[in-house]
Structure 1
């Protein structure tokens, strides 16, 4: 992509330049691989003034709301899969062969830690065992 004024840098969290500040940081299915509190603290510190953090994360379901969302996701998952990929697959595509791990943190814990480390962050439950977290660093 070649957009004037935009630079996209792919960087491993543990190999990034810790002195650099970013206008935007995105994590997709990454946060549950990291220790939650130190990761959110470091992400906040890596944002420039007015920068935005967007996380699409995985969490462990708990309680009635989590169980209900999990049941809905369980029912919808094969239907969405069939619509998006009607031909059977022999295995995952090459871009989906990254290491995986089950999420340890519950959504309530993620919300509590985010409230401490990222004041004003918005954490929302999504279908398919996902959540979003959006934080705008004060200008």
Structure 2
């Protein structure tokens, strides 16, 4: 599918970055698309993913971040190191309490940004159905135009591992409030939420 629900929110996440941030950790980086966007903003980026295939693909593409194969739920993370920790569509692959590890890795004033997936449906999801159809149609048309041009160099990369989320949005909000007092959880289109938390 040419339309990527997670990539759609890159610009929103970039607007949430701390004003004077310099160091970033991107958790579940996949092939590194968002990690490279952070690097392009001048961040020194550590990007981790448990999949050897994803890390190998990210390293082939390059682009600035330091890519490392690691499971953020169990790997050692430096304490109070990062100005921002990002986690795009990956938290549902880990225990939700892993957010406390991300919190501990943040420097004072650091920001945690989680673009998450939730289980079940809400009334807001009804609006996502037509919006998703329009976005997919537009992306497919753009993809056809690109394919009619010169071929893109490089082999295709297999998709990241897929796992259905188990926590409802209500449960996400409750756990976020318990584990990260002061965190905000905002429901988004395309069956996503944005969790933001700032270390004070």
Q: Shorter-chain-normalised TM-score: which range? A: 0.7 to 0.9
CA RMSD of aligned residues (A): 2.3
1:108-128, Cα deviation, whole Å (9 max, x unpaired): 111111111111111010011
TM-score by length of 1: 0.81
* Partner in structure 1 of residue 160 of structure 2: 98
Say if 2:136 is the partner of 1:81. yes
* Partner in structure 1 of residue 46 of structure 2: 9
Pairwise CA distance, 1:19: 2.9
Q: 1:125 aligns with which of 184, 187, 190?
A: 187
TM-score by length of 2: 0.58
* Partner in structure 2 of residue 58 of structure 1: 117
* Alignment gaps of 5+ in structure 2: 1-38, 50-71, 146-154
Say if 2:91 is the partner of 1:36. no
The 5-angstrom pairing of residues 65-76 of structure 1 reads 66=122, 68-76=123-131
The higher relative CO (CA closer than 8 Å, separation ≥ 6) is in 1
Q: 2:171 aligns with which of 79, 93, 109?
A: 109
Query: CA 1:3 to 1:106, structure 2 compared with 1: closer, same or farther past 3 Å?
Result: closer
Q: Following superposition, which runs of at least 4 residues in structure 1 exceed 6 angstroms of deviation?
A: none
CA contact (8 A) 2:73 2:95 kept: no
Number of residue-to-residue matches in the alignment: 128
